[in-house]
Amino acid sequence: MRISAKGRYALAALVEVARQTQKRAVVSVVSIAERLGISKIFLEQIALLLKKGGLLQSTKGAKGGYQLAREANKISAFHVLSIVENTLLEKTDNTVLEASPTTEAALREKVFNPLDKAVEACLSRITLQELLEYADLQNNEQAFMLNI
């Protein structure tokens, strides 16, 4: 399985937005792009998709930017990726349906459907809050190691 740059950046950006939302701050695309070292233009496109998908809310103006539209523990990795990834969560195309419907049925029932369900279940269990907490833990451990 391969998650595109758009999906990876969406998850990373939302971790940063979640961090700022906890502080009740609004975060700009520019500050996220600088912090993560990614393209501001690409990140703006991703933010618009996430806003359209109901995960971000925006504030206009000089001090404008984005905040989470709901709590971080209510946003799953599956939800994020389903908004920004075009092909990751699509059902697998038929392989040999016309030539061998029984083989197609076997592939669908024993490989493709279970795989789709497993990916969805795995990504649905991971929340943005968990990602934020893990990232913060890693930051704390790294800071501790630097002080030794």
**Residues 45-92 pLDDT 10s:** 999 999 999 999 999 988 889 999 999 999 999 999 999 997 877 888
Q: What is the pLDDT of residue 26?
A: 94
Q: What is the pLDDT of residue 146?
A: 53
Q: What is the pLDDT of residue 86?
A: 79
Give the DSSP letter of residue 27. B
CA atoms within 13 A on the CB side of 51: 13
The one-letter amino acid code at 84 reads V
Q: What is the pLDDT of residue 143?
A: 57
pTM: 0.87
Task: Kindly report the number of other CB atoms within 10 A of residue 32's CB atom.
Answer: 25
> What are the beta bridge partners of residue 67?
57
Q: What is the pLDDT of residue 87?
A: 81
* Per-residue pLDDT tens over the stretch 3-36: 999 999 999 999 999 999 888 899 999 999 999 9
* Integer Cα distance of 4 and 34 in angstroms: 20
